[in-house]
Structure formats: C-alpha cells, structure tokens
C-alpha cells in the first residue's frame, strides 16, 4: 500500500500499519478508526480533521506531531473502549488544538487557545 505524504479523505480504518516510518506526513480528514500504528515513527506528522477513535498508538514516536480538529473518542459515550490508546507514545513537543477526547494527563506542549 502506498501512502502519499498528502493523504486527504482516505480511510485506513482497521488496517495494520505497525512499524512504519511516516514522518512529516499530512493526514487531512482521514479515517484511522481501529488502525494499528504500534511502533511507528510519526515524527512531525499532522492530523487535521481526522478520526482516531480506537486507534492503537502505543509505543509510537509522535514527537512534534500536530493534532487539530481530531476525534480520539466518542464524547456521546464518555470514556470507553473507543478511545485511542497512547501508552508508551513519545509525545514530546506535541501540539493539540480542538481535540475531542485528548486524554487528561497526557503532556501537550505548544497548546494554542481554542
């Protein structure tokens, strides 16, 4: 499967993309529901308007990634098993703005109001 650095309106739902290098990619309006990204390098990736419900981001390198207008869990159901999984992810320098469901306690630097 070829993923272009400018993927827009693509569905990767339920795919297994473990241990890939996708540094500095821009994902816009993409569906990542249930996607397995464990162990990936996602340094500097931008997720804009994406759905990350139930995505597995454990042990990923998300340093300096940007999350804007992203959904990480379904707010209608509160905290449930539809939440993205973040254990062991490197979140150094992450920017998160207008993220529905950003987990409390996860570090975020460079927050912008909104």
pLDDT digits (tens, 9 = 90+) for 11-55: 999 889 999 999 999 999 999 999 999 999 999 999 999 999 889
What confidence score (pLDDT) does residue 109 get?
60
Site of tokens 């979140």: 91
Q: Do the Cβ atoms of 44 and 61 come closer than 8 Å?
A: no
Residue count (the chain): 114
Residue 90 to residue 74: CA distance in whole angstroms: 23
Distances from the Cα of 98 to the Cα of 10, 27, 85, 104, angstroms? 21, 16, 18, 14
Mean pLDDT of the chain: 83
pLDDT band at 76 (very low <50, low <70, confident <90, very high): low
What confidence score (pLDDT) does residue 74 get?
66
- Average the pLDDT over 47-68 and give the result: 94
Site of tokens 């339920």: 14
Residue 40 to residue 86: CA distance in whole angstroms: 12
Could you tell me which of 97, 99, 95 has the C-alpha nearest to residue 108? 95
What confidence score (pLDDT) does residue 107 get?
65
């Amino acid at each position: 499967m070829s993923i272009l650095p400018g993927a827009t309106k693509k569905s990767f739902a339920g795919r297994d993309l473990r241990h890939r290098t996708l540094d500095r990619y821009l994902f816009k309006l993409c569906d990542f529901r249930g996607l397995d990204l464990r162990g990936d390098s996602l340094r500097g990736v931008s997720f804009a308007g994406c759905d990350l419900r139930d995505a597995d981001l454990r042990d990923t390198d998300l340093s300096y990634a940007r999350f804007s207008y992203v959904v990480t869990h379904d707010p209608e159901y509160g905290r449930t098993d539809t939440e993205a999984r973040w254990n062991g992810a490197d979140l150094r320098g992450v920017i998160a703005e207008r993220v529905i469901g950003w987990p409390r306690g996860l570090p975020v630097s460079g927050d912008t109001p909104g």
